[in-house]
Structure formats: C-alpha cells, structure tokens
Amino acid sequence: MRLATARQMKQLDQAAIRERGIPSLELMERAAEALVREVLELAPERETPVGRGKQFYLPEATGEIIGADGETALFRRGGARNGPPRAVCFCGPGNNGGDGMAAARLLLAEGWKVRALLVGRREKLTPDAAEMERRLMAAGGVLEDFQPGNAAQLAAAMEADVLVDAVFGVGLNIPMAGAQAAAVQAMNASPAPTVAADLPSGVEADTGRVLGAAVEAAVTVTFTLPKIGCCVGSGAVCAGKLVTADIGIPTDLTDAGEYPVQTVTRRDVSLPRRARDSHKGDYGRVYILGGSADYTGAPVLAAEAAVRSGAGLVSVGVPTPVWPVAAGKLSSAMPHPLPADRDGRLSAQAAAPALERMSRCGACLIGPGLGRSGGVDVVVRGLLEKYRGSVVLDADGINAVAGHIDILDSRRDCVTVLTPHDGEFARLGGDVSGGDRLGAARSFARAHGCCLVLKGHRTITAFPDGAAFVNTTGNPGMAKGGSGDVLSGIILSLLGQGLPARQAVPLAVWLHGAAGDLAAEKLGEYGMAPVDLISMLPGLTKQLSR
C-alpha cells in the first residue's frame, strides 16, 4: 500500500481542483461523508425503537418493542442511555476543520445531537471552512469558539458517544500548544472514541512524530492515500484503525506519482510455487555463524526458522563447546564445530574454516548468539571483507562492525542486510532520538549501500535507493529474546532460495510478524515464545504459495 507525504497530497488536491475542475467543496463533502460513516459504526447501541410511525413502549428486560396495535419489533439493548446519540466535533480553522464542520452537519441530519467547536481564531478560517460553517448554520447547527476552561464544553466531550478530531491535518510542523493542545487533552481524557480526519492532530505527516501532544484516535479516516505518519512511529499508535477513503481524486493522478515508502500487507506477499521435479539444491545452501557458551539457543532458533521457511540446505557453524548442544537440537540442519577461546566464543582461528564453508553457500547469517570478544570481532570483520555472497548481519555481528562502518561501505556491490533494534542501530551511528525512525533508516541505507531492517513496532526495511517498506504485522508478545534470531533465519532462507532482496526481506519481515500474530491468537501475548513463531511458519508459507 502506497504511503504519501504531505507535499504529495497537497499536489494531488491542487491537480484535482485546478486541472480536472473538481470543486474543492465537493472533495470536502466526500471527506465528511467518510468520517460520518465511521462515526456511525462507532455509535453505541441504544434503547431506542427501530419502528417508525407507531407508538411503542419498552418492556423492562426483553429484547422486543411491543406496539399499541399489538405488533412487535426488535430493538437493540446496549446498555446506553435513551435519546439521540451525541457527538462533539473539534474543528480547526483550516480545511481539515472544514471536513469536521461538514461532518457535524451530516450528523445533525442523521438525528444526532452535535456540538461543533472551533479550535483556533475565526479570522483564520479558510474560504472552504467558512462555507462549511455557513452550511452548518443553515442546517441548524452552531460553530462555537472552543474555550479550554469552558466547563460545559469539556462536559460535552466527556458525555459524548463519539468525538471527531478535525483540528489539524497534514500541515502541522510545530508542536501543538495553547487551545490546540487543550483540545487534544480534552479528546484524550474523554471515554468516547475519537474519529480523526486524515491524520490524528499532533502527528507529523511525514514522520509519525508526535509534536507536543497528539490525539489518540480509535479510527483515522485518511483521504485518497494513507499518510506516512499514520503508519510509522508514534503516529501508527495514535491512528488506531486506519481507513482509507476515496474522496474523488482521479486514480490516474494518484497513479502518476512515485511513492518510495509503502506498507507490506497480506495482499502484497506471495511465494513462488515449487516445481514438481526440483531437489534440495534448488532451494538454497545457506550458512549460519553464531552461538557461544552464553547463547546456545540463538543459532538453533535461526536454523530452525530457515528450515521451516523453505531453505534447502542449512549449515551451522558454532564454537566447539556449543556443538554438542546444537547437534542435539538440530535434526534438519547441519551443525559443525569451529575453534573457540576458553570462554566458549569463536577464536580468531575460526575465520578460515568458516570462510571455507561459507564459500559453498549463496547466503550466510552472521551474528546470532556470538557474544562479544576480540576474536569474534576479527572473525566477523574478516568474513565480511572476503565473502561476496549475500550476508544477513544480526545481533553481535552488528556489534562487531560498530566503529568500522567502512566494512559495510566496501560491500556496496553485494547484498548486505542488517537487522538492528534501536540500540544496535545507535551503535552503528544511526540516530532515532528525534522520533523519525523512517528517515533515519532510509538515510543509513542510502549512505552505506545496505538493506537496513530497523526492528520494532512497525519494523522498517530500507534500501539504498531510498525505497522503504513498513511492516503491518506483529504484536508485543514478540518482545522476547530469540524473536530476532527467528527473523534473521527467515531472511536468510528467502535470500538463499534466490528471491531478490527487494522481495525477500520485506516478505520475511511480514512472515515473522504474521507468525507472531498467529502465536498470540493461539497462546496469548504473555505465554508465546520465539519457538512458537517457528511452528506457525509452515501454515503461513502453505497459504502464500497457493
């Protein structure tokens, strides 16, 4: 799914209005209709008769309405109060606020009790917003000036059934303050769900950063194309459920744009069907270098994930003291011992035999469970310089090149995939302290000619040409030691099977998260473990290869 920047959306709006002659007010009305659809979906069930034109009374504890003429009609008992549902629409003076004013009018027409509040100065109303205020007044509504200390307005927000956030759209670039921040606080304090127009107010459109404060929406209705800020960083959390609404901008205009940032969803992923006359050599020979006396399980998890995601032959090099453990646990991969130091980590002498094994493989994974030592650093750096196949660098493999970023630069003609979490990324020189994880990942990938998988909520996969993919699967139950080893094993497997990195890496990240979602559904987020992700892979790959 393509993600748009604020600038791209402004250009699309202008092209639709100026080049295609679509009235801006027509676009605004359609946006408001999309907002109202979601508001109605969130409306609580009420003890209100569904029949019209008859006299009904409500029995105390039954699920029916009995008419005066003896007819019976069903009604929905949701425990909510009687009377019309109530909405409060917080509207800024810009066109985003105009969407909210139009929504307020449409809700009035639906029989709702609506309070529309202007958050900002009336003299700053755009022409379209001013017209929407006029239409609201003609329909019997009022656009009140929002006053942060107004007890009646705050009480209305607390007692509402649904709130509409139309304070600020894609143009925000400074922290929310004053009345805007107070409006955000009022919406977040209310128990009512909030429907946000285009982007939760307070979220930066191109980064997902929260600027001062942001609305925590239950649903965000984004128009024409999803905005980057709805899908990454804190913005992805604030957006809640994301609904993309077509408001009438011609598809040929949207299709003409370039969108280097995309999400990865189920519609975007598939696996090639296997030929009936194939053999194990057709599906990749891959190599894993990992393990230490302190971390015996990491290479095992990676190897099992590689096998379960389709790799043909999986070899695993581990320090000699770890070999009995790996050999005892791995029945479908081939572990072998490598020279180790007295602490159970790889020694510098492991480089030559590891390279000899790696040279027979099309892709290798370096890092899971290696630990930190001078010998490990020597081995990892030496292999990166000499091995020219595809490399996935994870965990302590990443730590070994921290401060030696020139090694990455020397592999620009090779596929090199790094899978850091934020802490490892910082040790490599990346900086996510400003909240722009997407920008940081894309900059790093471009600067060093690598593929960067920045793990976390909405894991980001960035490529050297600026393209980036935002993952949509996964859950907090995956925040356990070993989950990253599973991910690196899946990436290794798909690269080894010959899928191009542009396809293999985002697909692997999606598979990893989807397996986690299945494990959470079956076992719960507290009880699931990384090994459960591996057990979910066969079912997923079966579905994807049909």
Pick the closest to residue 31 from 121, 95, 108 (CA basis): 95
Give the DSSP letter string of 451-520.
EEEE-STT-EEE-TTS-EEEE----GGG-STTHHHHHHHHHHHHHHTT--HHHHHHHHHHHHHHHHHHHH
Give the DSSP letter string of 253-294.
HHHTS---EEEE-GGG---PPPPTT--GGGG-EEEEE--BTT
CA distance 94 to 117: 13
Q: Report CA 300 to chain centroid distance, whole Å.
A: 29
Tell me the two tokens of residue 301: 């998890």
Quick one: 6-43+82-259 is in which CATH superfamily?
Answer: YjeF N-terminal domain (3.40.50.10260)
Say which CATH class 281-544 falls into.
alpha beta
CB 215 within 8 A of CB 238: yes
Q: What is the pLDDT along the chain (546 residues), one digit of tens a residue?
A: 999 999 999 999 999 999 999 999 999 999 999 999 999 999 886 544 444 333 333 333 333 433 444 444 433 333 445 789 999 999 999 999 999 999 999 999 999 999 999 999 999 999 999 999 999 999 999 999 999 989 999 999 999 999 999 999 998 989 999 999 999 999 999 999 999 999 999 999 999 999 999 999 999 999 999 999 999 999 999 999 999 999 999 999 999 999 999 999 999 999 999 989 999 999 999 999 999 999 999 999 999 999 999 999 999 999 999 999 999 999 999 999 999 999 999 999 999 999 999 999 999 999 999 999 999 999 999 999 999 999 999 999 999 999 999 999 999 999 999 999 999 999 999 999 889 999 999 999 999 999 999 999 999 999 999 999 999 999 999 999 999 999 999 999 999 999 999 999 999 999 999 999 999 999 999 999 999 999 999 999 999 987
- One-letter amino acid at 153 equals Q
Q: Is the pTM of this model over 0.95?
A: no
Pick the closest to residue 311 from 546, 543, 541 (CA basis): 541
CB 391 within 8 A of CB 408: no
| Kind plus residue range of the DSSP H or E element containing 372 | none
Domains 6-43+82-259 and 281-544 share a fold: no
Classified as helix, coil or strand, 211 is: coil
Segments making up each domain of the chain, as ranges:
6-43+82-259, 281-544
410 strand-pairing partners: none
CA distance 421 to 143: 47
222 strand-pairing partners: 244
